[in-house]
Amino acid sequence: MMIIMKSNATPQQTEAVIAKIKDMGLAVHLSQGVEATIIGAIGETHNIPTEHFEGLDGVDIVQRITQPYKLASRQFHPENTILPIDGFTVGGDEIAVIAGPCSVESRSQILETAQAVKEAGASALRGGVFKPRTSPYAFQGLGEEGLELLAEAREKTGLPIVVEIMSQVQLDVMLKYVDVFQVGARNMQNFNLLRAIGETRTAVLLKRGLSASIEELLMSAEYILAGGNTRVMLCERGIRTFETSTRNTTDINAIPVLKNLTHLPVILDPSHSTGHAAYVSAVARAAIAAGADGLIIEVHPDPAKAVSDGKQSLKPEAFAEMVNQVGQIAQIMGRRLAATQGNVQPLKQGWM
């Protein structure tokens, strides 16, 4: 249930509404914007008449939120959520570009990659240290050693780091290093992990599951939001279909659909959605044209020698060209790249 206060409502009137919500055994979510204060009554509200709140001093409108996801709903939060992340924002006019290797392999590899993506215009560095692999014999990541290397790369480049978390048992060690948690597709419905992340205030990039519907993605986001962590970004990374010519099928429709249903920022991962480096730039351009708030791209200095996902990783020079291309699309859309404001080259022929 959503309770919108009058523009002239006093703090005391707002507190009275909050107290009544709590007396009914419901949780409270307070959103204080420039034009309105909105109070969310979270829980089993279907048997509670709206009249319980409509007569309270300072209350303007009481509405039921019809979607099963409440806090993620644009009905509850009409304006886009804009998340500040160490020098740039996600969800506003800026386009965030997160880039780096699938796996942190060595000090030289991650430092070289970090410097390259920084120079090309990336706004954050990604790198895996705990790897969810199909085979138990495949490279599983460097663990805390990899986190230390990422922290060093951040110190040298200024790029915040985005790292996948696989289990709540990794939470304490990752909190010491990580700027943004990435929840991978296989863990989208790991509800214990989502609850644990919800108790933190670290930003989260939540990836859509391999066969998950958009509503299921939003319900997973709701677990994090309900815990009090409002710093959530959604990531479309392709879904499993009958098609085999690409690793997954990029659901480009998901971008405008999500932008219509939720206020949360939407990121697209063209590396995992295609599985082929040759297709990444084209899908990245399409994502920005469709309204995505950012991209997450796999980049490796020598993809042929990568221990994981080399086939879909861009070389640094290809990544730099892709950044320039999506920057041009962003300009057409009235937006700009977060880390390269004004540095995008003029429009070129041949790739549009």
Q: With CA atoms as reference, report the closest residue to 337 among 297, 279, 309.
A: 297
Q: What is the pLDDT of residue 352?
A: 47
Q: What is the pLDDT of residue 37?
A: 86
pLDDT (tens place) for every residue of the chain, 352 residues total: 899 999 899 999 999 999 999 999 998 888 776 677 889 888 888 888 888 899 899 999 998 888 889 899 998 888 899 999 988 999 999 999 999 999 999 999 999 999 999 999 999 999 999 876 667 767 778 899 999 999 999 999 999 999 999 999 999 999 999 999 999 999 999 999 999 999 999 999 999 999 999 999 999 999 999 888 999 999 999 999 999 999 999 999 999 999 999 999 999 999 999 999 999 999 999 999 999 999 999 999 999 999 989 999 999 999 999 999 999 999 999 999 996 543 455 545 454 4
* DSSP assignment of 49-113: -THHHHTSTTEEEEE---SS--TTBTTT--SPP-EEETTEEESSSEEEEEEE-SB---HHHHHHH
Tokens of 70: 């409440």
Instruction: Please report where in the chains the tokens 């109070």 appear, as a residue.
Output: 39
Is the CATH code 3.40.50.300 the one for domain 83-337?
no
Within its chain, how far is the Cα of 130 from the centroid?
19
Sign of CA dihedral 252, 256, 261, 263: positive
Q: What is the pLDDT of residue 341?
A: 41
Q: What is the pLDDT of residue 150?
A: 97
Q: How far is residue 52's CA from residue 26's CA, in Å, rounded to a whole number? A: 13
Domains in the chain: boundaries: 2-63, 83-337
Specify the CATH superfamily of domain 2-63.
Phospho-2-dehydro-3-deoxyheptonate aldolase; domain 1 (3.30.70.1140)
Residue 226's region, left for phi above 0, alpha for psi from -120 to 50, else beta, is alpha
- Residue type present at position 178: V
Output DSSP code: residue 303.
Answer: G
Please give the backbone phi and psi of residue 89, each rounded to the nearest 5 degrees, phi first. Answer: -125, 155
Q: With CA atoms as reference, report the closest residue to 147 among 101, 178, 111.
A: 178
**What's the predicted TM-score (pTM) here?**
0.88
